[in-house]
Amino acid sequence: MHYPAPMQPAPPSTIAPRRVFIETFGCQMNVLDSELVRDQLLALGYRLVPSAADADVVLFNTCAVRATSEQKVLSRLGVMGKRKKERPELVVGMLGCMAERAGADLQRALKHLDVVVGPSELDRLPALLDEVAAGQGQVRALSGHAVRRSRTLDAAMERLEALDQGRLVDPDQASAQRYVRVTRGCNKMCSFCIVPFTRGPETHRDPDAIVDEVRRLVAAGAVEVTLLGQTINHYRHGEVGFAHLLARVHDEVPELPRLRFLTSFPRDFGDDALEVMATRARICPFLHVPAQSGSDRLLKKMNRGYTVEQYLELVRRARSALPQLAIVGDMIVGYPSETDADHEASLELLRDVRYKTVYVFKYSPRPGTVSNARDPDDVPDEVKRARNQQMLSLQHAISLEHHRALVGTAVEVLVEGAAKLDPGDRQGSGEQALVQIARPARTDGVRLTSRTRGDHIVAFHGDAKLVGTLARVRVLRATPLSLSGELI
């Protein structure tokens, strides 16, 4: 079996070691990409710092799925423009999906945006940073997936595999929860989504490489590993399908206490995968399977490729195989032409499925998508807001019922950190500043936040040394969004 050689810590660059700050927007894929970028730069002698004010290189790993996320990045870039006037040597970079979608235009408009790198080109970042330091002006690496799809996919996959394989698994900076990529990109072409254009076509990693990576992370202290893919149940590498992969990771890394995966596509979720979940206790009973709408008419317009009945059939099969299963969904309100009847159908789906949690998004047209070009954004904003509110209220009532059923029970939780950061503990300025130390400094008992195997959030009082470990907690109170309890 041939893999690109894992990246070795390289001799320090000829350019003086630099301090880097990375802020991450968007999904778990981006969190993982930021970790891989961080590890790549640490191996080259860079040092990670917790705030943009302390950094020589500031990187924003961006999301293009929603306009609000892009607006935040534009605002950050505005701040960096002012800062760069005071410190011209500061290097400002934009990575990820927004970089792929709009980075070239933004560089023309913003002279202080030194580096732009799309999600399929992240392995080229260190060389580009060196070019900027050497005075080459603005640089960028964007893939243009139309080209990659037909001619250079294998080479690109090999380079990205080296990035995944090169992650550092130093126990000093390892956190208890780690992500491992299983597939890259997406072939689904849902009408509203920019991901197939920014991340490119679906590709699948070698199962041996995935198992090996999980093993190394667990040896470095990982307690929970989440396998990641945009449509993870479509994983296929030779004869190995998703169910087989899941079983292999579980069976071949017996020291891993918790295994989960994200995100499932409602079509083609086989009974074989459900059986693997039902028969392997360390796989968490949790499924994130976005429906997006409860209206067949809109599902067709969205090009989702299933009907409401087919979605419900999956939910029935899954619940029958795994009675304790926690199901999480995504819904869009205000998709073009959505009527009151369509919206009522979506509410009905929530009542039928009884999700643990639903992430509700108000539709916003994204440049480059099919729906942006084809479907006028004709649902008024006040209607979107009202439907959003109505859906959240209904889901809160359902979530509260799920949570109340847990009151009085003992649950196993993975302790994630302090429930509320003291002002003095705050690290970084952004949404998800990538920092090396997740453990709060105080040890005299703090409010901690944790997650059950079904992904329920549980707050309790305990020693900060518990962060990163599994604990047992008795649930005492329930709200729609979380639980609270006491350490057993």
State in angstroms the smallest separation of the CB of 33 from ligand SF4.
15
Cβ burial of 186 (10 Å; 0-12, 13-18, 19+) is: buried
Residues 372-391 that bind ligand SF4 (CB under 6 A): none
291 near ligand SF4, judged by CB under 6 A: no
188 near ligand SF4, judged by CB under 6 A: yes
Residue 420, CA atoms < 13 Å, CB-side half-sphere: 4
- For the chain, helix, strand, coil in percent to 5 are 40, 20, 40
Q: Quick one: 101 or 216, whose CB is closer to ligand SF4?
A: 101
Cβ–Cβ under 8 Å, residues 400 and 360 = no
| Among 212, 214, 227, 119, CA closest to 174 | 214
Q: Quick one: 190 or 262, whose CB is closer to ligand SF4?
A: 190
Q: Quick one: 149 or 188, whose CB is closer to ligand SF4?
A: 188
157 near ligand SF4, judged by CB under 6 A: no
Q: Quick one: 231 or 357, whose CB is closer to ligand SF4?
A: 231
182 near ligand SF4, judged by CB under 6 A: no
Go through the chain and tell me how many residues it has.
488
Distance, CA of 488 to CA of 485 (rounded, Å): 9
Q: Quick one: 130 or 268, whose CB is closer to ligand SF4?
A: 268
Distance, CA of 364 to CA of 371 (rounded, Å): 10
State in angstroms the smallest separation of the CB of 121 from ligand SF4.
19
φ/ψ of residue 354, rounded to 5: 55, 60
Q: Which stretch binds ligand SF4 (CB under 6 A): 167-175, 188-196, 429-437, 479-487?
A: 188-196
State in angstroms the smallest separation of the CB of 231 from ligand SF4.
5
State in angstroms the smallest separation of the CB of 268 from ligand SF4.
12
Cβ–Cβ under 8 Å, residues 179 and 223 = no
Find the binder of ligand SF4 among 62, 230, 346, 388 (CB under 6 A): 230
Q: Quick one: 200 or 207, whose CB is closer to ligand SF4?
A: 200
- Three-class SS state of 236: strand
3-state secondary structure 445-480: CEEEEEEECCCCEEEEEECHHHCCCEEEEEEEEECC
Q: Quick one: 30 or 399, whose CB is closer to ligand SF4?
A: 30
State in angstroms the smallest separation of the CB of 100 from ligand SF4.
14
419 near ligand SF4, judged by CB under 6 A: no
Residues in contact with ligand SF4, total (CB under 6 A)?
Answer: 10
Q: Which stretch binds ligand SF4 (CB under 6 A): 68-76, 92-100, 182-190, 401-409?
A: 182-190
Find the binder of ligand SF4 among 26, 118, 196, 241 (CB under 6 A): 196
186 near ligand SF4, judged by CB under 6 A: yes
State in angstroms the smallest separation of the CB of 259 from ligand SF4.
22
Q: Quick one: 30 or 231, whose CB is closer to ligand SF4?
A: 231
328 near ligand SF4, judged by CB under 6 A: no
State in angstroms the smallest separation of the CB of 422 from ligand SF4.
37
Structure tokens of 44? 């080259």
Q: Quickly list DSSP for 358-426.
A: EEEEE----TTSHHHHHS---S-HHHHHHHHHHHHHHHHHHHHHHHHTTTT-EEEEEEEEESS--GGG-
190 near ligand SF4, judged by CB under 6 A: yes
Cβ–Cβ under 8 Å, residues 115 and 90 = no
265 near ligand SF4, judged by CB under 6 A: yes
Find the binder of ligand SF4 among 34, 226, 231, 369 (CB under 6 A): 231
Distance, CA of 345 to CA of 102 (rounded, Å): 36
State in angstroms the smallest separation of the CB of 20 from ligand SF4.
29
183 near ligand SF4, judged by CB under 6 A: no
64 near ligand SF4, judged by CB under 6 A: no
Find the binder of ligand SF4 among 92, 98, 125, 195 (CB under 6 A): 195
Q: Quick one: 107 or 120, whose CB is closer to ligand SF4?
A: 120
State in angstroms the smallest separation of the CB of 189 from ligand SF4.
6
* Cis, peptide link before residue 263, omega less than 30° from 0: yes
91-96/115-117 β-pairing: parallel
Q: Quick one: 69 or 231, whose CB is closer to ligand SF4?
A: 231
State in angstroms the smallest separation of the CB of 30 from ligand SF4.
13
Distance, CA of 10 to CA of 205 (rounded, Å): 25
Distance, CA of 311 to CA of 294 (rounded, Å): 9
Cβ burial of 103 (10 Å; 0-12, 13-18, 19+) is: buried
Distance, CA of 322 to CA of 316 (rounded, Å): 10
Binding site for ligand SF4 (CB under 6 A): 186, 188-190, 193, 195-196, 230-231, 265
